[in-house]
Amino acid sequence: MPFSHHSHSGQFCGHATNTLEEVVQDAIRKGMTTFCMTEHIHRERLDFYPREEEDHTPETLEKLYDDFYHEARRLQKAYADKIQLFVGFESEWIRDSSFGIIQRLLEKYPVDLFVGSVHHVYTVPIDYDTPLYHKARDFGGGTDEQIFADYFDAQHAMLQALKPPVVGHFDLIRLKSDDPDKSFRIWPNVWENFMRNLKFIAAYGGVLELNSSSLRKGMSEAYPQVEVCKEFVAMGGRFTLSDDSHGVDQVGLNYGKVLDCIKKAGITEICYLAPASGSIVIHDERFPNVGWRTVSVPDLEFHGFWKK
């Protein structure tokens, strides 16, 4: 029953480790029953990450995703009797032209899902390292409050344009800030912006991932914060689990702490992707072969994954 809807591997991502097959094998070893392979998409040259993509071109990054897609489909078939695998991508919303890149991918590849993420504000990466976060913050006037508000504006534009089935690390903006665990309630404009986004996600049926990667990066709660999750619960919003793993050492990492966050937030059930048959709760016509099922938190907690 434990699952992840967001993952990467060193075979197709410059800041990850291990092959995609090794990642899948580790998910099986750890008792996962659903695992989504969602590699990063290609970007324009001006948005290449320093160091790890210096030897790439837009064409080679595009081919890298193509290679990933076909390898992921091979693994899906090869391990079908051991784990339910799905194939997709993590989007990059940087500027208006990002929409065209994502739409072309959706037209070219019959993916099972994609994760809608924002890693940039004012076209500057905000989670790559602290100097780049400070550079982005300076563009916005030098305060965490302003860049937080603008991050949620950028996210709102992404949500409106794409309506992603899974919304990735909703409050990623706090990662490199001066106080990552600070409550958003101290900034009314930030609170208003993210509440607007949550309402939009709930309205179109998007699923908010509970992303454990924040915990391995030193924060006290998963993305999004418990106080954010409580607001989404009150809206009738749905959640899923993601480890955002970048190698075998991160597969399912800190899920016990995520379970604690789930209980604190009052979340009573979790969604997971499944083939489009049986009791499907949410179905997106863009992805006709899959849908979402739910499991109660007590049933989730009973699974043997936690013992391993």
Q: How many domains does the chain have?
A: 1
pTM of the model: 0.95
Q: Give the rounded distance of the alpha carbon of 235 from its chain centre.
A: 20
Report H helices in the chain.
20-29, 58-78, 98-108, 130-139, 144-162, 188-204, 213-216, 226-234, 255-265, 297-302
Q: Are 240 and 270 in contact (CB under 8 A)?
A: yes
CA atoms of 261 and 54, how far apart (whole Å): 39
The boundaries of the domain holding residue 53 are 3-306
139 or 57, higher pLDDT: 139
Strands 290-296 and 120-121: unpaired
Q: What is the pLDDT of residues 172-216, one digit of tens each?
A: 999 999 999 999 999 999 999 999 999 999 999 999 999 999 999
Q: What is the pLDDT of residues 221-239, one digit of tens each?
A: 999 999 999 999 999 999 9
CA atoms of 91 and 242, how far apart (whole Å): 15
CA atoms of 32 and 50, how far apart (whole Å): 34
**Banded pLDDT at 1 (limits 50, 70, 90):** low
Hey, how many other C-beta atoms are within 10 angstroms of the C-beta on 90?
Answer: 23
Q: What is the pLDDT of residues 70-120, one digit of tens each?
A: 999 999 999 999 999 999 999 999 998 999 999 999 999 999 999 999 999
User: Helix (H, G, I), strand (E, B), or coil: what is residue 29?
Assistant: helix
Average pLDDT of the residues of the chain:
94
Matching residue, tokens 């090869």: 78
Residue 162: CATH number of its domain? 3.20.20.140
